[in-house]
Amino acid sequence: MNIADIRRDYLRGGLRRTALEADPLKQFEKWFADAGDGRSCWRRVGIALFKLWRALLGRPPADANAMVLATVNRNGVPSTRTVLLKGLDQRGFIFYTNHDSRKGRDLLENPNAALTFYWPDWERQVCVRGRAERIPRDEAEAYFKTRPRGSQLAAWASNQCDVVADRAVLDAAWDAVAAKFPGAVALPPNWGGYVLNPEQIEFWQGRPNRLHDRFQFRKQADNSWKLDRLAP
């Protein structure tokens, strides 16, 4: 297979300036609702058929709240990974992780970060850039209590990003934590959430012939948003 020959055209629609919300967070909410469900009956039917086709090929649909998080450490070395969006409010985009993980250490050294959402069913992408900060511990604890018990135990059992000898080490650590917390599982001291406060949000809609629609919101000094169309 020649990787250079892998291509497709984007035919699902376009994006006009007049269709955009004045607040990019509200615009994101609209697109996120589309990615998770779809607002039009015919679009839902089309997406359902597309997902059925993917399932028949053994390709499960992607999580709508999956996002690529990019961080940079103090030496300027970048890292990326896929994490899950767990909240969106006036502060920005919220996710949770181990503070001692690579991303946690990067954000401690350099709070500048970026997010990318890609929804292939809709031929859409959203790119976000801003600064991340930890959310209050009581807020993290409230979310932690909603997680499945297995996920709560894993937060204790895994020293994220540490080298481990084999799978047995992880299983033994999980069993030990399960025995330690036969009932409610406490929030680990090194686990919590971050909110990325956006300074720039770009909405990308695929179009035929690679003449895609791109609109960029940039936050101004007075917290208003400046909107520009970008060349594809």
Q: Does any domain span residue 176?
A: no
Name the catalytic one among 210, 214, 218, 229.
210
Q: DSSP alpha helices (H): ranges in 18-117? A: 24-36, 41-56, 102-109
Mean pLDDT for all residues in the chain? 89
Q: Does any domain span residue 201?
A: yes
The predicted pLDDT at position 149 comes to: 95
The total domain count for the chain is 1
Q: Which of 196, 208, 199, 198 is nearest to 232 (CA)?
A: 208
Using 50, 70 and 90 to split pLDDT, how confident is the model at 217?
Answer: very high
Domain with 37, as residue range(s), is: 13-135+192-230
Q: Does any domain span residue 151?
A: no
CATH number at residue 212: 2.30.110.10
Q: Does any domain span residue 53?
A: yes
* Active site (annotated) includes residue 210: yes
Q: Does any domain span residue 2?
A: no
Q: What is the pTM of this model?
A: 0.85
Q: Does any domain span residue 50?
A: yes
